Structure 1
Amino acid sequence: MSQYKDYQLVIVRHGESEWNKLNLFTGWRDCRLSEKGVEEAKAAGVTLKNDGFEFDVAHCSLLTRANQTLYLALDQMDAVWTPVKKHWRLNERHYGALQGANKIEAVEKFGEAQVKIWRRSYDVPPPPVETSSADFPAHDRRYKDVDPAELPKSESLKDVLARVMPYWENAVLPDLKAGKRVIIAAHGNSLRALLKYLEGVSDNDIIDVDLPTGIPKAYRLTADWKAADAKFLGDPAELERRINAVKAQTKKA
């Protein structure tokens, strides 16, 4: 019997994307997984299968890299039939005018301290884009039914939490309350926001919390649907390596 049989929720950040590989601010820009990211997603599925996880429903963002990760992981679990619910509220943080910029070049232009604030602070968003910009999501047909007033021009992590929570309360939580086992495939910041809520992480401490690509994190929940226990799955050394890779994205060689 699986040691994780009482864990109702798993979150997984997408595997390395082509833009992660190029060290670019991605945000709501759409890109596919890199070859390495494909292998990370498959490995996540193998880990979940080996640890005895089964899911009744999956939730995912509208961005390709998260959808690829979810499909590849479920494929390794022989469970691609799993019902999937997709929503823009699980998308990555919108990086505003930083989207498409190289992270090292941004550090050289604005300074490491300022870029760290934009990347990791709780309530300071990067400079916004104009509504005429191609980076304003209203110009993308996948958001055609969303009120443009709800779509971001730039976001802090606080803003991301504010848009993720209605989806948690109205879509994910009802599944959990119905006794369903849930996996969420999404992004570094949409999942950091959810993690902050579930684990009660402070505004200051969340700055130093990083989610590695492609490594599942499992939750056993309390009666009020907060984290009673949470743990990353798989090889601890690989977990540390991937977390350090995220931290190094704005460090000069």
Structure 2
Amino acid sequence: MRHGESEFNTANIFTGWCDVALTPRGVVEADEAGKVFLSNNLKFRVCHTSLLSRSISTAWRSLESAGVGWVDVIKDWRLNERHYGALQGLSKERTAERLGRDKVMKWRRSFFARPPEMEPEHPHYSMIEDDKRYEKLRLTAGITKAESLEDCQQRVVEAWETSIMPTPYSPPENTDPEDCVLVVAHANTLRALIMHLDEISVDEIEV
């Protein structure tokens, strides 16, 4: 499930790893999602989400609304939104006008195209580099400066195979709802994961 509406969603800004909050509408969306879970008798054993507040808040609120606020919420940077590099924090519309719509749409929709890297002078650079939630990542693999959808897919699939799938769960036909697993993430991480699971081609995903 994707997180509820965020502040940057309403402003049509490239969000990436910027830690923005849910809007009031986003809060309502999270609460309503929980009610849908409840009405369909979906109860979750565990929830996996990213390290970004908009997804964490959505996870907590939807679980609480579903009456299962006690379940574990596992946070993993690999479920973070795609890192948009130098585009992060910029208006999508104004960036398209300034750099060209074809170029910007290629960065947004292409599976392989990677936007320009986030340089140290970028206003969000130190916010990410100095963020304690990424301390372990910084000391091991290092924090990415920009990602293509392919880059994003590699880490999301790794999270799926090493962390999410090993959790005991039941397929849809199983009538026991206690074994469900909830994943709350972001538009591009979910797009990349669904591409992998449903074996969607590059041509199809770029449409």
Structure 1-normalised TM-score?
0.74
Deviation at 1:68, TM superposition (A): 0.7
Deviations 1:78-102 (A, max 9, x none): 1110111111000000000000000
Q: Match for 2:129 among 116, 133, 138?
A: 138
Deviation at 1:158, TM superposition (A): 0.1
Tell me the amino acid that sits aligned with residue 172 of structure 1: I
Deviation at 1:19, TM superposition (A): 0.8
Question: Partners in 1 of 2:154 and 2:148 — Cα distance?
Answer: 10
Question: Partners in 1 of 2:81 and 2:15 — Cα distance?
Answer: 8
Instruction: Please name the residue that 1:58 is paired with.
Output: 47
1:165 partnered with 2:157: yes
Instruction: Please name the residue that 2:73 is paired with.
Output: 84
Deviation at 1:49, TM superposition (A): 1.2
Alpha carbons 1:161, 1:194 under 8 Å: kept: yes
Deviation at 1:132, TM superposition (A): 6.4
Question: Which runs of 5 or more residues in structure 1 are unaligned?
Answer: 1-11, 209-253
Instruction: Please name the residue that 2:166 is paired with.
Output: 174
Alpha carbons 1:96, 1:135 under 8 Å: kept: no
Identity over aligned residues, as a percent? 41
Deviation at 1:150, TM superposition (A): 3.6
Q: Match for 2:27 among 38, 48, 58?
A: 38
Alpha carbons 1:138, 1:148 under 8 Å: kept: no
Instruction: Please name the residue that 1:203 is paired with.
Output: 202
SS of corresponding position for 1:144: helix
Q: 1:73 to 1:177 in 2, by over 3 A?
A: closer
Instruction: Please name the residue that 1:48 is paired with.
Output: 37
Q: Give me the CA root mean square deviation.
A: 1.7
Alpha carbons 1:131, 1:153 under 8 Å: kept: no
Count of aligned positions: 197
Deviations 1:208-239 (A, max 9, x none): 3xxxxxxxxxxxxxxxxxxxxxxxxxxxxxxx
Q: 1:74 to 1:117 in 2, by over 3 A?
A: same
Question: Partners in 1 of 2:191 and 2:168 — Cα distance?
Answer: 20
Deviation at 1:182, TM superposition (A): 0.6
Alpha carbons 2:169, 2:180 under 8 Å: kept: no
